[in-house]
């Protein structure tokens, strides 16, 4: 299995790039944000609970998202590998992910961090809000809160993987295809 964490602030392009990498390497993308939005649309108990946190730009409690990922690891046991997109977002989640993978005889091979400056993130998210109608992309103060939550609670996850020698930083600005090529260069190194 090839298990990767695609990491970076909101608006860094994780979802966009995950789709290309999924195709190229036959991996399964696991986006906790997509799963939570789907749970909200279906009004499941998880969706009802997550909605308030998401609309405020706050993180959904660790145990909820860890539970969702644990179910996916069981459901897609036969996958060739996973691209974790938007997970882990706290060090607690990262520790739990390592544990869940270890229990299945697996591990994370690398974390790919897409580096994008904050003013560019704000621009991209405001545009996405207009185009997609996503609730948490509509309001500048909520977007700024998500960027702050990233700085305060999520960025330390990069140190967690760096300490394991697994962190790769990729410039996340430029043409989408150029950024994909940068990611592929790293993944091809990991596959050697
Ligand atoms: P995303 O689509 O990854 O930008 O996630 C949208 C929102 O879903 C976030 O702002 C959080 O409220 C919630 N969310 C997604 N993934 C996680 C996670 N791993 N931990 C906690 N909350 C999450």
Structure tokens at 131: 């185009």
The number of the ligand 1 atom at minimal distance from the alpha carbon of 10 is 4
- Regions of the chain with pLDDT less than 50: none
66/62 Cα distance (integer angstroms): 6
42/98 Cα distance (integer angstroms): 30
- How big is the chain by its Cα radius of gyration, in Å? 16
Please tell me the distance between residue 100's alpha carbon and the centre of ligand 1 in angstroms. 19
pLDDT at res. 11: 97
Q: Cα separations (Å) of 102 from 76, 115, 160?
A: 16, 28, 16
pLDDT at res. 145: 96
> Which of 8, 70, 89, 149 to mutate to test ligand 1, by most ligand atoms within 8 A of the CB atom?
89
- In this predicted model, what pLDDT tens digit does every residue of 5-43 receive, in sequence order? 999 999 999 999 999 999 999 999 999 999 999 999 999
Q: Are 24 and 130 in contact (CB under 8 A)?
A: no
pLDDT at res. 100: 98
pLDDT at res. 137: 93
Please tell me the distance between residue 9's alpha carbon and the centre of ligand 1 in angstroms. 11
Site residues for ligand 1, CB cut-off 6 Å:
10, 32-33, 36, 53-54, 57-60, 65, 86-87, 89, 93, 136, 146
Please tell me the distance between residue 192's alpha carbon and the centre of ligand 1 in angstroms. 32
How much is the pTM? 0.97
Q: Cα separations (Å) of 108 from 3, 12, 36, 144?
A: 5, 21, 23, 30
How large a percentage of the chain has pLDDT more than 70?
A: 100
């Amino acid at each position: 299995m090839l298990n990767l964490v695609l990491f970076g602030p909101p608006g860094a392009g994780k979802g966009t790039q995950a789709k290309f990498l999924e195709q190229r390497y036959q991996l399964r993308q696991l986006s906790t944000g997509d799963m939570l939005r789907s749970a909200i649309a279906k009004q499941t108990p998880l969706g009802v609970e997550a909605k308030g946190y998401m609309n405020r730009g706050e993180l959904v409690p660790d145990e909820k998202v860890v539970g969702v990922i644990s179910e996916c690891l069981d459901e897609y046991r036969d996958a060739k590998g996973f691209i974790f997109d938007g997970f882990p977002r706290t060090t607690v989640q990262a520790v739990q992910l390592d544990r869940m993978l270890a229990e299945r005889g697996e591990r994370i091979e690398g974390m790919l961090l897409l580096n994008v400056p904050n003013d560019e993130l704000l621009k991209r998210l405001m545009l996405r809000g207009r185009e997609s109608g996503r609730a948490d992309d509509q309001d500048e103060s909520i977007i700024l809160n998500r960027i702050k939550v990233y700085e305060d609670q999520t960025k330390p996850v990069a140190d967690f993987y760096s300490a394991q020698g697994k962190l790769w930083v990729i410039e996340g600005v430029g043409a989408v295809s150029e950024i994909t090529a940068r990611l592929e260069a790293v993944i091809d190194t990991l596959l050697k």
